[in-house]
Amino acid sequence: MTDETEADLTGGTPRRRPKPSADKVGDRKLKPSTMMMGHGYDPMLSEGSLKPPIFLTSTFVFPNAAAGKRHFEGVTGKRPGGADGLVYSRFNGPNQEILEDRLGIWEGAEDALAFSSGMSAIATLFLSMVKPGDTIVHSGPLYAATETLIARILGRFGVHWLDFPAGATREEIDAVLGKAASGNVALIYLESPANPTNALVDVEAVRASRDAIFTGANKPPIAIDNTFLGPLWAKPLEQGADIVVYSLTKYAGGHSDLVAGGVLGSKEHINTIRLMRNTIGTICDPNTAWMLLRSLETLELRMSRAGENAVKVCEFLRSHPKVEHVGYLGFLEEGSRQADIYQRHCTGAGSTFSLYLKGGEKEAFAFLDSLKIAKLAVSLGGTETLASHPAGMTHLSVPDARKQALGITDNLVRISIGVEDAEDLIADFEEALKAV
Ligand SMILES: *Cc1c(COP(=O)(O)O)cnc(C)c1O
């Protein structure tokens, strides 16, 4: 991407971005939580408006014909990096560009893209990388719609897949990648922690395995869905992932009031994905981008509080006589392989966990139907606490054998803790457990 200075020189439409961003005060490099308030936006380009206006337009006026031609060279990939200026709202827009600049900061990514949903981000990533005959190697389980996309939809176009379990060791990963390497592996796709098992993927091991088995142009990029712990508690680019994917609907959006997705990575990978987004139009709309800018200002506050609440709630639930087990990343067995991955990859246990009650569906439903503060809904990462029943809801159509293998039993309740008062939440769970 070029900055506004270059666009000025070439006569392009200036983007609503400031001159190279102030990411330092003196020698001090600013933290993401500070930069969320101003980075990528110059109020003086918008009549001094402290917050960016929402740019509701489908197209942008070129200052001259040469600038228009130059922009289209970027949009169509004749020149890498996308358009220098604003062109047409399927390609870019000021609100989306400010959002992308700020998203990238959280993980120190070179570049980022915003999408209309987590799934449209994932679909655009896949479409930009695979061709018939290629293989996607992935960790399992994945978010159900991602599994459907790989196996059933891309499968119809001759794309193959192979998987290894999320908690796999280096040897197990080597075995699967080694087998896949007889064909063309287009992408290694990870999700960590896996839903609903919470199993963490050893990204460092995947990276080492990839680098040992593949060389040169055959090296597939490693992409990872970081929706559950990112960007506060996990930054997988630091462990060797090349591309990070988000459902921004969850913690990043954080208020259960929007659907959006994001992809972060090197300029080279992002340019490839951007060309596909330009073609199929999976960019998010300006209003959603604006809402996400607001959300990012409180991301650290919200996630920190939710994480602190989850520790307290899980401590309470763990010792309750009607609870069989709490699958929470904060309770990993000391010295276990999962705890080792956690220590190398994560800075916090998140606020989404699995609660196994003693009993079955009857007990789980009695508990869910008695909650007063926690809402009975799927999704996660919002300000409010949510609870759901995977076996009867999100994973209803999963075959029984696979459900059993994934630990999706009838007594499992998935909980995403919000930013309410922790003692109020504990009181809610305590009362609901009395009804079991
Ligand atoms: C919700 C979710 C998605 C899909 O995101 P949408 O915004 O609903 O399209 C993908 N991956 C994970 C891990 C999710 O939780």
pLDDT tens digit string along 234-260? 999 999 999 999 999 999 999 999 999
The pLDDT, as a whole number, for residue 19 is 52
- Give the Å distance between the CA of 135 and the centre of ligand 1: 22
The pLDDT, as a whole number, for residue 17 is 55
397-417 average pLDDT score: 91
Beta strand 135-140 with 111-115 is unpaired
Sign for the pseudo-dihedral over CA of 336, 338, 342, 348: negative
Statement: residue 16 has pLDDT above 80: no
Q: From CA 20, how far away is CA 38, in angstroms rounded?
A: 12
The pLDDT, as a whole number, for residue 317 is 98
Statement: residue 361 has pLDDT above 90: yes
Number of CB atoms found within 10 A of residue 310's CB: 26
Q: From CA 196, how far away is CA 57, in angstroms rounded?
A: 41
- The rounded radius of gyration (Å) of the Cα atoms in the chain is 22
340-356 average pLDDT score: 97
Write out the two tokens for 372. 């007063």
Kindly report, residue by residue over 117-128, the tens digit of the pLDDT: 999 999 999 999
The pLDDT, as a whole number, for residue 15 is 56
Domain topology for 299-433: Aspartate Aminotransferase, domain 1 (3.90.1150)
Nearest CA to ligand 1 atom 1: 247
261-271 average pLDDT score: 97
Statement: residue 1 has pLDDT above 60: no
Confidence band of 21 (pLDDT split at 50, 70, 90): low
Q: From CA 86, how far away is CA 420, in angstroms rounded?
A: 41
Mean pLDDT, all residues of the chain: 93
Inter-residue contact 394 to 384 (CB < 8 Å):
no
Q: From CA 154, how far away is CA 150, in angstroms rounded?
A: 5
Q: From CA 300, how far away is CA 419, in angstroms rounded?
A: 12
Question: Which residue is it, tokens 């390497």?
Answer: 181
What Cα–Cα distance (Å) separates residue 390 from each residue in 159, 165, 332? 29, 19, 22
Q: Which atom of ligand 1 is nearest to the CA of 228?
A: 13
Confidence band of 12 (pLDDT split at 50, 70, 90): very low
* DSSP code at position 330: G
Return the minimum-mean-pLDDT range out of 21-25, 198-202, 260-264, 411-415: 21-25
SS3 call for 131: coil
The pLDDT, as a whole number, for residue 5 is 38
- Give the Å distance between the CA of 143 and the centre of ligand 1: 7
Inter-residue contact 183 to 133 (CB < 8 Å):
yes
Give the list of residues 6+ apart from residue 18 with CB closer than 8 angstroms, or none: 4, 40, 41, 42, 45
Domain residue ranges of the chain, discontinuous segments joined by +: 299-433
Inter-residue contact 8 to 24 (CB < 8 Å):
no
- Give the Å distance between the CA of 205 and the centre of ligand 1: 25
Return the minimum-mean-pLDDT range out of 2-11, 43-52, 359-368: 2-11
Statement: residue 173 has pLDDT above 60: yes
- By residue count, the chain amounts to 436
Q: From CA 192, how far away is CA 124, in angstroms rounded?
A: 20
Q: From CA 347, how far away is CA 370, in angstroms rounded?
A: 33
Q: Which atom of ligand 1 is nearest to the CA of 121?
A: 9
The pLDDT, as a whole number, for residue 18 is 54
Inter-residue contact 235 to 204 (CB < 8 Å):
no
Q: Which atom of ligand 1 is nearest to the CA of 261?
A: 7
Statement: residue 11 has pLDDT above 50: no
In sequence order, which ranges of 14-117 are alpha helices (DSSP H)? 32-35, 65-75, 94-106
Closest CA to 341 of 243, 232, 234, 247: 234
- Give the Å distance between the CA of 158 and the centre of ligand 1: 25
Which stretches does DSSP call E strand in 210-271?
222-225, 243-247, 261-265
pTM, two decimals, is 0.94
Ligand 1 pocket by Cβ (under 6 Å): 117-119, 143, 191, 195, 225, 227-228, 247, 249-250, 259, 261
Write out the two tokens for 293. 């800018």
